[in-house]
Amino acid sequence: MESEYRYKTLYAIARELTSSLSADKVLNTIVESVTKAVNAKGCSLMLLTSDRKQLVHTISYGLSKSYLRKGPIKPSVIDEVLKGSIVAILDAAQDSRVQYKERAMSEGIASMLSIPLKPDGEIMGIMRVYTSKPYQFSPEEIDFLSSIANLGAIALGKARIHEALGESLEQYSIELSRLEEDKDRFLRFLGIAAHDLKAPLSAIQGFLWVMLRGFTGELNDKQRNMIERSSRRIDELLNLISDLLDIPRIETGQIVQEMEVISLRRVVKDCCTDLREQAKQSGIKLKVELPPALPKIRGSIPRLQQVINNLVHNAISYTPEGMVTVRVMEQENEVQIEVMDTGIGIPAEDLPQLFNDFFRASNVEMKGTGLGLSITKRIVEAHGGTIRVESPYAGSVVGSKFTVTLPKLYETERRKHS
């Protein structure tokens, strides 16, 4: 057999192996190619049963159905093969290792060559080549056939992986469905619990407000101090409840129902106008860089206001002195909002966790829910956008920069609403 033909055969099998997800198709290609390549009578692949006590024909070419129905082959007959050896039988009619001699003679089989299949080092079966005349395979031919047997072993291993993966994916799908149901139940419970807590706390806060303003009588300094501290604690709880109510609203897709075609420029401008007083009281300069015009986007005005307010409020709060800059830029397919400050920055080890629920940076002393940035991230992603943070950022050795990107409104949708 010419070397060129061997290489072509190997290439054809390898190509089938890499392109096909069907193990049967690959194995059929192997037995047919082997038979034709060595001018043999036939070729078969036999696999061990699960108890590893018998071998059964799995794929074959050139053999009659009656021969294939002769029965399983006991491993003891081909013990050498199952130990990893290649076994060549020159005379099938006389060799004691042939279990069905008469059937072999009736089929017209004279010689056999058996090569082990071991995809992961463990014998799982054999590839057997049959000739109609006594034939002594050369070392080169045995090497060639061993290479093909290895490809067959790979195909069988691949089939095992796909089978196991299919079972795993099915189980994963079931578990994922259960988790989604559990998540939905939890979000509903969270929304109900937070709503039920908010009403009485708001009422208590109202009573404290009445007392602090003297409507119930004069307060001494100790009483005022205690009531003010209680009021601040209730404010913190009310903020936490509002944040907890936001999570199920966002997770259940309520933001999508609020979306409309809006002017992002107007949202940013209005937010920054409201935040200038906070910046002024903190001794911080608030700089806003807005282009004369921006493309419209699809979004929820109150939710995007929440994003801008949260980012700018944080920037002002964590900047002892200096400047907070809000910059909006139009990119090719998106609009980008940058909120930069010259504040205390964020420790490098905290950056990967910054958008996690209830996480607070290690260098922050002020109290808060730890949900602001995680909710901000949820809102941005619900708009099809992204948010990232750098600290410090390019062009500055201090402070932090948050960058929000939001997709532009599709051209067709812009025309529809123009």
Q: Say which residues have a Cβ less than 8 Å from residue 374's Cβ, sequence separation at least 6.
A: 355, 356, 357, 358, 359
**Torsion, Cα of 236, 239, 241, 244 (10° steps):** -120
CA 380 from centre of chain: 20
CA 197 from centre of chain: 36
| pLDDT of res. 85 | 82
Q: What is the pTM of this model?
A: 0.50
Claim to verify: residue 335 and residue 412 sit in the same structural domain? yes
Claim to verify: residue 267 and residue 335 sit in the same structural domain? yes
Which pLDDT tens digit goes with each residue over 19-41? Answer: 555 667 777 888 888 888 888 99
Claim to verify: residue 162 and residue 207 sit in the same structural domain? no
Which pLDDT tens digit goes with each residue over 153-189? Answer: 777 766 665 554 455 556 656 666 776 676 666 666 6
Claim to verify: residue 199 and residue 338 sit in the same structural domain? no
Lowest pLDDT segment from 73-82, 87-96, 400-409: 73-82
Claim to verify: residue 52 and residue 117 sit in the same structural domain? yes
The answer, yes or no, to whether the previous bond of 392 is cis (omega within 30 of 0) is yes
Q: Domain span at residue 363?
A: 257-417
CATH classification of the domain holding 401:
3.30.565.10
- How many domains, in total, are found in the chain? 3
Claim to verify: residue 216 and residue 285 sit in the same structural domain? no
**Coil/strand/helix, residue 397:** coil
| pLDDT of res. 80 | 72
Which pLDDT tens digit goes with each residue over 301-327? Answer: 989 999 999 999 999 989 988 999 999
Mean pLDDT, the chain, integer:
81
Q: Quick check: 76 pLDDT over 70?
A: no
Q: How many CB atoms lie within 10 A of CB 275?
A: 21
Q: Quick check: 412 pLDDT over 50?
A: no
Q: Is residue 107 within 8 Å of residue 64, measured between CB atoms?
A: yes
Q: Is residue 409 within 8 Å of residue 261, measured between CB atoms?
A: yes
Claim to verify: residue 146 and residue 275 sit in the same structural domain? no
| pLDDT of res. 1 | 46
CB neighbour class for 144 (10 Å; exposed up to 12, middle 13-18, buried from 19): buried
DSSP assigned state of 349: G
Q: Quick check: 253 pLDDT over 50?
A: yes
Between CA 54 and CA 126 the distance in angstroms is: 12
Between CA 24 and CA 402 the distance in angstroms is: 54
DSSP assigned state of 234: H
Phi and psi of 130, rounded to 5°? -115, 140
| pLDDT of res. 411 | 38
Claim to verify: residue 149 and residue 192 sit in the same structural domain? no
Instruction: Return the bridge partners of 4, or none.
Output: none
